[in-house]
Amino acid sequence: MSKQPRIAIVHDWLTNLGGAERTVRALLDAYPRADLYTSVYDKDGLDLFRDVEVRTTWLQKIPGKLKFKHQLWVPLRPLAFRSLNLKDYDIIISSSSAEAKQVRGDSRTVHICYCHTPIRYFWVNPEKYMREPGLGPLNFLAPVIVPLFLKALKRSDYKAAQKIDVFIANSKAVQSRIAKYYDRDSKIVYPPVQIDRFRQSKPPKRAGFITAGRQVAYKRHDLAIEACNKLELPLLVLGNGPEHERLKHIAGPTITFNSNPSDQDIEGAFKSARAFIHPGEEDFGITPIEAMAAGTPVIAYMAGGALDYIKPAINGEFFDRQTPTSLEKALKNFDTKKYKHNIVSQSALEFSLEKFQKQIVSVVENIPKVK
């Protein structure tokens, strides 16, 4: 583009720290003059954007912490995003696994959607959302209320997807979903991973297994715990979340929890474990690649984003069914000595922050070919 474009970066919500939020930070660092928008922002719970003016929708006016319970506001979020006035921007980059793609510019605005996944609770697994909506004591309302809105919301989401100028998928699995649910082609740009934070020059002494991440049902930390219970293997579980108490309840004597790990705790664990266990089906999965950067092989469920980066016998292994028995078999057959520390670590370089930003800038610079 001949002049410096005016860019808006839009994310679904900014309430907790995960891979999607780090991706937004990487976009902002690539375009420090861009403006940042979101539906709601918890500035007390998320330090990553303290140096940025975060512009929100009218959902931010909902009192207290209730506004951060994003499951409650599914029918309202499309309206909230469409109410934002982004007509003065040359480029909109939406970072979306939900409704951020609903934002509108004017006829000359180019909209690039970095898609973490088409909306799971509309397209990918709506039945699971009905069973586990994450509303706590209000869970019983989901099967009653959601069907009233689902058809109209899916239609609205599909329509918004047709207005995107460029779709970017974060993995081959998501690229396939974009084609299936939105009938759209997409480029793949893998999310940024803090490779240098975890790399180490010398192979360490290794002991025990680890799993980490937000403790929600779909991440299936229970599989790692049950398999290590059965085999009496030491497992360190890093993180917290709604599933935490249930996971503690099923844990045997070889399972250790750290629900509030420091950066040093995380780095130390990733660098010294025999292997990282990745039992969930993720759209991509940044945490396993952080382990790989440390030279630690990964034992992963053979689905989702893991198919893009796990290379059996080189940087990890797969188990093919999401059951304790299948994972137990993989753990029994796992031999740490088979993996070369430097080769495992090098396999993570493909997913660096620098490569992500370079590819995003390339997409933006090639916009004249689109509009």
- The 10s digit of each residue's pLDDT in 103-147 is 999 999 999 999 999 998 888 877 777 776 666 676 777 777 777
pLDDT of 2 reads 54
> For residue 278, how many other CB atoms are within 10 A of its CB?
29
C-beta separation of 115 from 97 below 8 A: yes
Q: What is the mean pLDDT of residues 34-44?
A: 96
Q: What is the mean pLDDT of residues 67-89?
A: 92
Rounded distance, CA 186 to CA 178, Å?
7
Angle between helices 19-30 and 286-293 (to 10 degrees): 80
What domains lie within the chain, and their CATH numbers?
Answer: 7-192+353-369 (3.40.50.2000), 195-351 (3.40.50.2000)
pLDDT of 39 reads 97
Residue 100 pLDDT class (50, 70, 90 cuts): very high
User: What single letter denotes the amino acid at residue 316?
Assistant: G
Strands (E), the chain: 7-11, 35-38, 54-56, 91-96, 110-115, 166-169, 187-188, 209-212, 235-238, 255-258, 275-278, 298-301, 316-319
Among residues 197, 199, 209, 200, the alpha carbon closest in space to that of 263 is found at 197
CB neighbour burial string for 333-346, b if at least 16 within 10 angstroms, e if fewer: ebeeeebebeebbb
